[in-house]
Amino acid sequence: MFERLNTPQEAYNYKLGAALKMEQTVLDMLDKNADEAQDEHVRELFRHHQAETRQQIRNIEGAFAAFGWDVDTSPCPAIEGLEKEGKANARKADDALVDSLLLQGAAEVEHHEIAVYEGLIINARAMGRRDVVRLLEQNLEQERHTLREVQQAETQAAAAAPAA
């Protein structure tokens, strides 16, 4: 682990490790969300994204390999905060609102993941690493697709929620 980031490569290694930690955390979150979801469609959405997330982890590990680096995680406090917020919201929610709140949290996570991948891709391009760009663009496209699916499901869940 780096005590101080002194080169673009060290900074990239650190951020790539944070992305790996992010996806590992998301994998656990998806499992819990699928268990808590009330609607079968919402449950399946989370389960499907678990499979994609496993592939995204392999792609990140492939990026480490492309650089010749050991696979290592770095802290990712942002995803830990989103996880904590999601847990707190789900605990407070009436069963009729759980899916809507889970989906809102999932959309927040997807936005964060998209921003992480956009930054990693920009910097991989700057280093001339097209091989890494290709791997991470796969992850970015999956995240964008998942965000659209989550937003569609969220719209349906919000419309189905009981009125005050």
Distance CA 26, CA 163 (A): 31
pTM over 0.85: yes
- The sign of the torsion formed by the CA atoms of 24, 65, 125, 141 equals negative
Domain range annotation of the chain: 8-160
Q: What is the pLDDT along the chain (164 residues), one digit of tens a residue?
A: 668 999 999 999 999 999 999 999 999 999 999 999 999 999 999 999 999 999 999 999 999 999 999 999 999 999 999 999 988 988 888 888 899 999 999 999 999 999 999 999 999 999 999 999 999 999 999 999 999 999 999 999 888 877 76
Going by C-alpha positions, the residue among 44, 45, 71 that lies closest to residue 57 is 71
Query: What is the reported pLDDT for 1?
Result: 62
Half-sphere exposure of 11 (CA within 13 A, CB side): 9
Fold of 8-160: Ferritin (1.20.1260)
- Count other C-beta atoms under 10 Å from residue 126's C-beta: 10
Distance CA 143, CA 112 (A): 10
Q: Where are the beta strands (DSSP E) in 14-164?
A: none
Rounded-to-5 percentages of helix, strand, coil across the chain: 85, 0, 15
